[in-house]
């Protein structure tokens, strides 16, 4: 079977072109060797499951690893503690039947818990089995639980975390797992467990014993180069690996799904088209930009999740709006729930204490979303641009000078009586609104990362392989304006 770029489920090096995870696995193993319990909290499709499966294989020489996926436990099984224990035992039993070295008594006890679902049991019973396992096992035992978001809103899950916490705190006296790793989008360290029905009485998070997980899961340009070399060893396209890897990193900031999706589009959708009849032609900058355009126009689970979160959290939508259209710097504050959620969902990243949209692909997709809302498209400026569209493209080339001239004409006619504050806060948005119907379906645009502020914006426009750099500044009359013109020339 030929290898492919994978965006559906966990990646397997035997079937897929993958990034080398060795350095990350080594770093995680050092945490496990130290006996740390921790959470891998990352956005959707960030490679968590791929990393966990690779980790289980990486640890097998030194540890007994039981790796669970809480998606296999049905929602109704979280509603009652006894039912949950039976379901948990069932999932553990599936794993240990395929393992060697599990103490016979533990294996039988887990099987009994899994099989006798009619008996009412307590969480302590299965944790007693875990403790006996850890005491009798020839190797330390590591527990990995993926997709914990499935359970996070249930009290029974908090009880499960509390039992793990108690085992961690008492492990000098009673044997417990060497390490526990929980993975999901939400960071379970932030959830609380009630001690009484009174809402005011809460204890600390049942997972406040977790160590920080600082392993970088984004791909670096060097990681991407290694994956592309695997591909090149098979297909010999002659691509400039360093250049293509650099483009992938510049546009995605190493977001694993986006890197793999663009590569997959180039390999399977761009190559073989009339414009790029073979793989050699597709793996060029022009082919890459065609794949980016295709990505930005498609619906996929990541983009659907992105937009759903924007609509689900109004305060999050406000933060993104300010970033995109007003260029307002947003300082990172750990207690700001909107910013914290934006980071958790992968929408933004922090740089030097400020918040930035996570990558160029997200930024462009979000611009496209906000600029195509019905209330926006119904505006007069958008309608003018739609009517003017045919005069801006001649022989397949975009006449950007003409676009700018007509924008100034229409903008002054419609909004010329507005104050300075309007220009500062809305000038960028209205220019992009005017540009949208002109390049829609053919070109893309993005804001240069180094210039996202109110005083200056470099808007980069890709149109059929030609790039235009539009520098937007607040108008300053007199010598400042003349000096600006000279610098621009």
Per-residue model confidence as pLDDT tens digits over 91-144: 999 999 999 999 999 999 999 999 988 889 999 999 999 999 999 999 999 999
* 8 Å CB contact between 178 and 31: no
Residue 237 has pLDDT above 60, yes or no: yes
Residue 71: left if φ>0, alpha if ψ -120 to 50, beta else—which one? alpha
477 pLDDT band, cuts 50/70/90, is low
Q: Give the model's pLDDT for residue 298.
A: 94
Q: Give the model's pLDDT for residue 328.
A: 62
| Residue of higher predicted confidence among 47 and 332 | 47
In this structure, the dihedral spanned by the alpha carbons of residues 218, 221, 225 and 226, taken in order and rounded to 10 degrees, is -40
| Residue of higher predicted confidence among 379 and 422 | 379
204 pLDDT band, cuts 50/70/90, is low
Question: How large is the average pLDDT for residues 336-349?
Answer: 87
* 8 Å CB contact between 142 and 63: yes
Question: How large is the average pLDDT for residues 402-412?
Answer: 90
Q: Which of 251-260, 398-407, 444-453 has the highest mean pLDDT?
A: 251-260
Give CA–CA dist 340/342, Å, rounded. 5
Q: Per this entry, what is the length of the chain?
A: 489
Percent of the chain with pLDDT over 70: 89
| Least confident interval from 229-238, 287-296, 328-337, 378-387 | 328-337
Residue 201 has pLDDT above 60, yes or no: no
Q: Give the model's pLDDT for residue 131.
A: 97
Q: Give the model's pLDDT for residue 194.
A: 44
Average pLDDT, the chain: 88
Q: Give the model's pLDDT for residue 447.
A: 73
Residue 286 has pLDDT above 80, yes or no: yes
Give CA–CA dist 319/348, Å, rounded. 10
Span 427-464, pLDDT tens digits? 778 888 889 889 887 888 877 655 444 445 578 888 88
How would you class 458 by CB atoms within 10 Å of its CB: exposed for 0-12, middle for 13-18, buried for 19 or more? middle
| Residue of higher predicted confidence among 303 and 476 | 303
Q: Give the model's pLDDT for residue 153.
A: 78
* 8 Å CB contact between 355 and 362: no
* pTM greater than the 0.85 cutoff: yes
Q: Give the model's pLDDT for residue 279.
A: 97
Q: Give the model's pLDDT for residue 284.
A: 97
Q: Give the model's pLDDT for residue 133.
A: 97
């Amino acid at each position: 079977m030929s290898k492919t770029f994978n965006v559906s489920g966990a990646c397997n090096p035997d079937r897929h072109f993958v990034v080398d995870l060795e350095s990350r696995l080594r770093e995680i193993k050092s945490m496990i060797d130290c006996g740390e319990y921790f959470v891998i909290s990352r956005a959707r499709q960030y490679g968590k499951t791929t990393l966990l499966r690779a980790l289980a294989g990486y640890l097998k020489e030194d540890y007994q690893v039981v790796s669970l996926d809480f998606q296999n436990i049905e929602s109704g099984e979280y509603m009652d503690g006894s039912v949950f224990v039976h379901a948990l035992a069932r999932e553990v039993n599936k794993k240990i039947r395929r393992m060697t070295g599990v103490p016979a008594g533990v294996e039988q006890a887990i099987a009994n818990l899994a099989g006798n679902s009619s008996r009412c049991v307590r969480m302590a019973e299965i944790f007693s089995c875990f403790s006996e396992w850890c005491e009798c096992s020839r190797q330390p035992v590591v527990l990995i639980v993926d997709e914990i978001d499935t359970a996070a809103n249930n009290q029974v899950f908090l009880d499960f975390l509390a039992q793990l916490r108690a085992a961690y705190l008492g492990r000098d006296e009673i044997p417990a797992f060497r390490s526990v790793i929980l993975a999901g989008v939400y960071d379970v360290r932030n959830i609380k467990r009630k001690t009484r029905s009174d809402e005011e009485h809460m204890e600390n998070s049942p997972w406040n014993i977790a160590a920080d997980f600082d392993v970088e899961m984004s791909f670096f340009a060097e990681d991407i180069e290694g994956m592309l070399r695997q591909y090149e060893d098979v297909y010999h396209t002659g691509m400039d690996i360093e250049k293509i890897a650099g483009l992938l990193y510049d546009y995605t900031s190493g977001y694993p799904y986006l890197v793999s999706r663009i590569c997959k589009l180039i390999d399977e959708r761009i190559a073989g088209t009339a414009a790029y009849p073979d793989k050699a032609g597709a793996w060029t900058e022009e082919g890459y930009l065609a794949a980016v355009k295709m990505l930005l126009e498609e619906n996929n689970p990541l983009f659907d999740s992105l937009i759903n979160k924007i609509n689900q959290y109004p305060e999050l939508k406000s933060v993104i709006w300010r970033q995109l259209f007003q260029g307002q710097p947003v300082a990172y504050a750990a207690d700001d729930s909107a910013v914290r959620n934006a980071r958790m969902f992968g929408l933004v990243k922090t740089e030097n204490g400020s918040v930035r949209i996570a990558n160029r692909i997200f930024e462009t997709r979000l611009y496209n979303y906000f600029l195509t809302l019905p209330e926006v498209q119904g505006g007069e400026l958008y309608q003018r641009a739609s009517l003017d569209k045919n005069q801006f493209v001649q022989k397949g080339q975009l006449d950007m000078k003409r676009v700018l001239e007509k924008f100034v004409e229409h903008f002054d006619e419609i909004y010329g009586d507005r104050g300075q504050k309007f220009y500062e806060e809305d000038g960028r948005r209205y220019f992009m609104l005017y540009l949208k119907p002109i390049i829609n379906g053919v070109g893309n645009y993005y804001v240069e990362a180094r210039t996202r502020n109110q005083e200056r914006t470099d808007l980069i426009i890709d149109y059929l392989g030609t790039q235009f750099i539009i520098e937007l500044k607040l108008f300053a009359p007199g010598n400042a304006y003349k000096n600006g013109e000279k610098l621009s020339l």
